């Protein structure tokens, strides 16, 4: 059995391109722009990077990005 090398970055880029095309078609056909909403609780640096990357990728795909920041002391009930 031989190993097969895959290019994960190329696969991911192809998937993003397919998504962008589907988002554009949805907008043309139904006049709708999908979006991603993220709730960020606290100020964890790793979480900020994660959310920023998701926002960038969302916008690059032609979607809208919404970020809601809450203080670290926010309870589940709030």
What's the confidence (pLDDT) of residue 1?
Answer: 78
What's the confidence (pLDDT) of residue 28?
Answer: 96
Which CATH number does 8-70 carry? 3.40.50.10860
What's the confidence (pLDDT) of residue 78?
Answer: 84
Distance in angstroms (rounded) separating the CA atoms of residues 71 and 10: 38
What's the confidence (pLDDT) of residue 54?
Answer: 97
Domains of the chain, by residue range, sit at 8-70
pLDDT profile of the chain (78 residues), mean per 10: 93 97 97 97 97 97 97 92
The pTM of this model reads 0.80
CA distances, 48 to each of 12, 41, 52 (Å): 22, 10, 6
């Amino acid at each position: 059995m031989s190993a097969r090398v895959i290019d994960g970055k190329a696969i991911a880029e192809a998937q993003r391109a397919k998504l962008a095309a589907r988002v554009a078609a949805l907008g043309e056909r139904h006049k709708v722009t999908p979006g991603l909403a993220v709730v960020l609780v606290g100020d964890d640096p790793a979480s900020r990077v994660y959310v920023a990357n998701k926002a960038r990728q969302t916008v690059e795909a032609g979607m809208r990005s919404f970020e809601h920041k809450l203080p670290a002391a926010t309870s589940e009930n709030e």
